[in-house]
Amino acid sequence: MNLNSTLYAQLVVFFILAWFTMKFVWPPIVKALDERAKKVADGLAAAERGRHDLELATRRSVEALREGKEKSAEVLAQAERRAAQIVEEAKTQAKVEADRIVAGGKAEAEQEILRAREALRDQVAALAVAGAEKILRREINAKVHADLLSAIKQDL
């Protein structure tokens, strides 16, 4: 263990190496480490955000599904109601129509009856006149008894 000028040389080398490391080695490595730490932190935050978003989306989708089901049930019920209403309306209309037709028929029939009765009356009157004529031809002058005959005709 002898001391000599190697000591000074070592001292100088010591500082040169330390300076070099300080200048060219330490900053880039520490920078990389810090940046990576930041990256990892960002990544973790993003993952957390993603998980949160997923949760929200799931909740929203469940909500939408529920709403859809509700709406479809409502539409179905409405449709059923509407169908029943339509059937009901059709029924009513049909009844009215039928009634109208029946009434029309009835009225026509009555008209017909009336007309037939009129015709019958004319024919009966003519027949009666013809009969009476035959009878009266022998006894009565048709001209003389014309007002009598029309009075009879009126009564028929």
| Residue 32 binds other proteins (CB under 8 A) | yes
Report 95-134 residues binding other proteins (CB under 8 A).
none
Site stretch for other proteins (CB under 8 A), options 30-38, 72-80, 83-91, 123-131: 30-38
Given a contact cutoff of 8 angstroms between Cβ atoms, the answer to whether 116 and 140 are in contact is no
Closer residue to other proteins, CB minimum distance, 15 or 155: 15
Number of neighbours of residue 83 by Cβ within 10 angstroms: 10
Site stretch for other proteins (CB under 8 A), options 4-12, 112-120, 125-133, 136-144: 4-12
Cα angle value 129/134/139 (rounded, 5°): 105
| Residue 42 binds other proteins (CB under 8 A) | no
Closer residue to other proteins, CB minimum distance, 7 or 155: 7
How far apart are alpha carbons 22 and 16 in whole angstroms?
10
| Residue 41 binds other proteins (CB under 8 A) | no
How far apart are alpha carbons 76 and 87 in whole angstroms?
16
Shortest spacing between CB 47 and other proteins, in angstroms: 17
How far apart are alpha carbons 108 and 116 in whole angstroms?
12
Shortest spacing between CB 67 and other proteins, in angstroms: 46
Provide the sign of the torsion angle of the four alpha carbons 90, 93, 99, 104, taken in this order: negative
- Give the interface with other proteins as residue ranges (CB under 8 A): 1-11, 13-15, 17-18, 20-22, 24-33, 35-36, 38-39
